[in-house]
Amino acid sequence: MNAIISASELASALAGGTPPVLLDVRWQLSVAKAAGEPPFDGRAEYLAGHLPGAVFVDLDRELAGTAGAAGRHPLPDLAEFGAAMRRAGVSAARPVVVYDGGQGWAAARAWWLLRWTGHPDVSVLDGGLTAWEGPLSTDVPSPAEGDFAPVPAAAGLLDADGAAALARSGVLFDARAGERYRGDVEPIDRVGGHIPGAVSAPTNDNVGPDGRFLPAEELGARFKALGATDGTEVGVYCGSGVSGAHEVLALAVAGIQAALYVGSWSEWSSDPSRPVAVGPDPQ
C-alpha cells in the first residue's frame, strides 16, 4: 500500500476489478476575505465537476469536531466519523483514494484519519484534481453503505504534553510557514511563535511547483537533515492539524513514521500558561 498514487495509477485502478472508493475533500483555510468575496465552498466546487463516482467529504463537519479549546480542527467524534465514511461507501476491504483541489492538505487529513482509525489501504492522489487528465462528472453518486468501523491506533496521535515531551526527546516538526514559526506574523491564532524545541519544516517545501511530492529520496534527505535520523521518534504539528497531516504524509512517502499533534498551534497557543518560543531557532 502506497501513501500516494499518481493520476495514471489511479486511472488503471479505476478500470480494474476492485476500483477504489473515491473521496473528494476540497477545502481551503478560512482567512479574512476581501470585501464582497464569497467564502470558499468545497461542495459547490465538487458539484461543478469531480472524479466520476467520487463522494464529497466536508472537512470541517466530517473530519473534525467543533472548534474550541482543543483547537480549530480537533478530532471528530469517531462514531460520527465512521458513519460519514460508511455513507461514502468506505469499507475495510476496499481501497480508498482521497483527493482535493491540488494543495493536498485536506486530502492528507482524510488519509491520516482513515489510517489512524484502522483502514489498511488509503492513498492520496498526488497533485490532486489538477493532476487528473480524465473526464469529470457532475453526477452525485449514491454509494452502497460501507462497513468501515474506526478503531483508533494506540500510537500516531500526540496531545499537547506529548508534543512538548517529543520536542525534547525526539524531533517535533512545525509544518507551518516559516514566518508563523518565527512569530513574525500570526493571522489566525492568539499569538505567534512555536512550541519550544520544535524544528521549522514547512510542508510546502515537500512538494514541487506542480504540487506533487518530491521523490522519496529527496524527502528522506530533507527530513534527515532536519533531525529525523534512524531511531528518532518524530512528530508533527501545524496550525490546526490539517497541513501537519500533509507533512505526516510526506514523511510516510519517505519511509518515516510520524505522529500528529491534532490540536496543534491553535490548541497550544490558546492556553496562556504554555510556553511560546519565537525566532528562527527551536529554543
Known catalytic membership, residue 50: no
Q: What angle do CA 170, 176, 182 make, to 5 degrees?
A: 85
- Among candidate residues 59, 98, 201, 238, the one labeled active-site is 238
Residue 227 to residues 51, 70, 173, 245: CA-CA distances in angstroms?
39, 28, 9, 19
- Four-residue CA torsion sign, 161, 162, 163, 169: positive
| Dihedral over alpha carbons 210, 212, 216, 221 (to 10 degrees) | 50
Is residue 192 within 8 Å of 166, Cβ to Cβ? no
122-125 and 96-99 strand pairing = parallel
* Packed helices 105-116 and 243-253: angle between N→C axes, nearest 10 degrees: 70
Residue 131: phi and psi, rounded to 5, are -85, -15
Indicate which residues carry an active-site annotation.
Answer: 238
